Structure 1
Amino acid sequence: MKRWLLIFSLATLPITAMAEVYTYIDKQGNRVFTDQPGHGNAKRVPLATSNRMTANPTGAAPVTAAEKTAEPAPFRYDMLRVLVPEPDATLRSSAGELIVSVTSEPGLQRGHRYRLLLDGKATAEPGPSPVFALSNIDRGSHNLSVEILDAQGRTVERTANQPFHMLRISLAQKRQVKPCALTDYGQRPECPLKDKPPEEKNPFFRFF
């Protein structure tokens, strides 16, 4: 009984008091633990170091899985592409005009908007219309792409660059293809009134 009382007493001692613990066999053959090394056959008992930490050192309450609010997955479109013009199309316009049409599958979702990019730059403010009218496009090769933006202005989908080629025919070239008749002056852009030749007078009235 005394043996177990001593063990219990040692177990309840502070860590500093248990810095050295000894054990020996008494006359009755019992194993005894003590903090006094005075007994002839007492041996020191090695103690394992203890690294005690508070369960929550920051003091913050642990976040449970139920408290974590997972953000909904962003909506994904199955298809988004430029319908008109077709890839690598060659267009002819003296004013550099172009009508662009886009489509998506499924259709544009609530709060989403289309934005057309010409050579990487937005052509206008995003909107719900899938048709864009462009003008004064420089002659040469260009790239079109279209984006779908959500209500926060984040890009949901974007197409790859689609090339096209703009040929701007000059007024002189148009006059060469189709010469101006007298009735065309003032009616066709390539036939301005200032270029209209003077009308020949009737020979009958030459002597008057």
Structure 2
Amino acid sequence: MVTARRTVTHLVALLCLVGVLSLAGHHVSATDIYHWKDEQGNIHFSDFPDSPNAQAISLPDVPAPPQVLNEAPVDWTSSPYLEQSQKQASTKLAVAITRPQHDATLRNNSGDFSVSASISGSLTDIQTLQLLLDGRPYGSPQTTASWSLTNIDRGTHTLTIQVQQSGKVIASSNTITVHLHRASVQ
């Protein structure tokens, strides 16, 4: 039983060797393979005789694998995947602050004012807008393009709006400067 298993195992090994030689990608001419049984009953295969008991096995010629040529020309410009990526590229997001204007002077004694933005393209479900006041996030990311700022200190401030996706900035507006005037109590 053990000898039959070994013989089958070694036959499978021989067939694998023939298969590997056939996958080499070029024409393989008939080659002699030698096999022999050692003292423990193990069968060995080699391309040269390592034992005085080695016997040659002649392998048949293995033709080269056929070349597969695409007879029909491929029109790469009409791929639906290409069209989809072109649509995504053409609808690239852009964001701009529309109110207040750059270098505007805002007068509000309570320090309140509004910021509005316009977006070209549309936000996906995983994209948000983040207002930056003086380079720091103001409020939480949101999907609406308007903010109401309250109790902002008087002085000069910068405003920027970022489009974020998965925590990464994928678009940003220009940074504008505004000047907030508040009456001081004497």
Which protein shows a greater Rg? 1
Give TM-score scaled by structure 1 length.
0.44
